[in-house]
């Protein structure tokens, strides 16, 4: 990572890889450590397609944010936002409209520290350090309430975060709490790991993630669909990341991205 490490919190665990820092490395960021890079290389030796999955996921996030902006959304709540590498939500939204407001939420120390640095002079974007499985803390945080107006539509982003909410943390209730807080006309965009396409590789990845600070659980198309509740999925529904409103030519139908992805609107 960068030699300028004076911003790194002393509480950072350098013994175990972090999912946020590993994702940063896959996307070409420099806010990761040797333990994260070694873990990514291990994953890629077993599942070389994982890098493409990450890139397709990132591209989906961009398309989802632009889709919401085109429909009038000017405020976003990004759950489990991770480390802000190039092409983050506030960059995308504020390029379209500089008044767009974005609240990032994460509890990974490097993600929080770096986000606070890059957002220091951005009056319309901020980082909240919190556990997203405790929605009331996130939703009632003073920073959240200062930047977001919950009487107006909000774009809620849960990109590659649902699979970190384990079954004993009641993910259905977690998502329901966030959905209930949103005004009609709001949107929810999410991506989620699945074993639907390759059960063996899904199980293998789940086991490898046990070496990190972040366990994961893969879920089926039906299970992921439940996180949208009574929100109305927009076309093309819950599909692979690369198949959700792709730019340019249609993706090869025989190729999967290891993730379900969708965007839905609150009636």
The residue written with tokens 């409103």 in the block is: 245
What does the pLDDT look like over 156-165, one tens digit per residue? Answer: 999 999 999 9
Closest CA to 263 of 20, 24, 19, 62: 62
Confidence of residue 8 (pLDDT cuts 50, 70, 90): low
- Predicted structure pTM score: 0.88
Mean of the per-residue pLDDT values of the chain? 88
At residue 12, the pLDDT reads 64
Alpha-helix runs per DSSP H in 27-170: 34-46, 50-70, 89-96, 109-118, 135-139, 142-147
Domains of the chain, start order:
19-265 (3.40.50.150)
And the tokens for 165?
């909410």
What does the pLDDT look like over 24-55, one tens digit per residue? Answer: 888 888 778 888 898 888 878 888 887 888 88
Distance in angstroms (rounded) separating the CA atoms of residues 229 and 227: 5
Q: How many CB atoms lie within 10 A of CB 224?
A: 24
At residue 22, the pLDDT reads 79
Closest CA to 222 of 208, 233, 238: 238
């Amino acid at each position: 990572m960068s030699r300028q490490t004076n911003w790194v919190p002393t509480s950072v665990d350098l013994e175990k890889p972090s999912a946020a820092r590993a994702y940063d490395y896959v996307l070409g960021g420099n806010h990761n450590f040797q333990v994260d890079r070694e873990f990514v290389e291990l994953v890629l030796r077993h599942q070389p397609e994982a890098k493409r999955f990450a890139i397709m996921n990132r591209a989906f996030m961009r398309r989802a944010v632009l889709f919401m902006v085109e429909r009038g959304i000017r405020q976003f709540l990004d759950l489990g936002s991770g480390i802000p590498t190039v092409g983050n939500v506030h960059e995308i939204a504020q390029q379209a409209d500089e008044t767009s407001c974005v609240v990032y939420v994460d509890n990974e120390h490097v993600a929080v520290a770096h986000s606070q640095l890059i957002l220091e002079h951005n009056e319309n974007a901020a980082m909240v350090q919190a556990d997203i499985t405790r929605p009331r803390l996130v939703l009632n945080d003073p920073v959240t309430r200062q930047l977001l107006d919950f009487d107006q539509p909000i774009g809620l982003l849960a990109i590659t975060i649902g699979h970190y909410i384990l079954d004993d943390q009641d993910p259905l209730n977690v998502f329901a709490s966030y959905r209930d807080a949103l005004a009609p006309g709001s949107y929810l965009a999410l991506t989620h790991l699945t074993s639907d396409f390759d059960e063996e590789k899904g199980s293998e990845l789940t086991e490898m993630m046990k070496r990190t600070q972040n366990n994961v659980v893969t879920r089926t198309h039906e299970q992921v669909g439940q996180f949208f509740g009574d929100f109305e999925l927009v076309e093309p529904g819950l599909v692979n990341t690369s198949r959700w409103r792709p730019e340019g030519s249609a993706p090869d139908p025989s190729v999967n991205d290891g993730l379900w992805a969708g965007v839905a609107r609150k009636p």
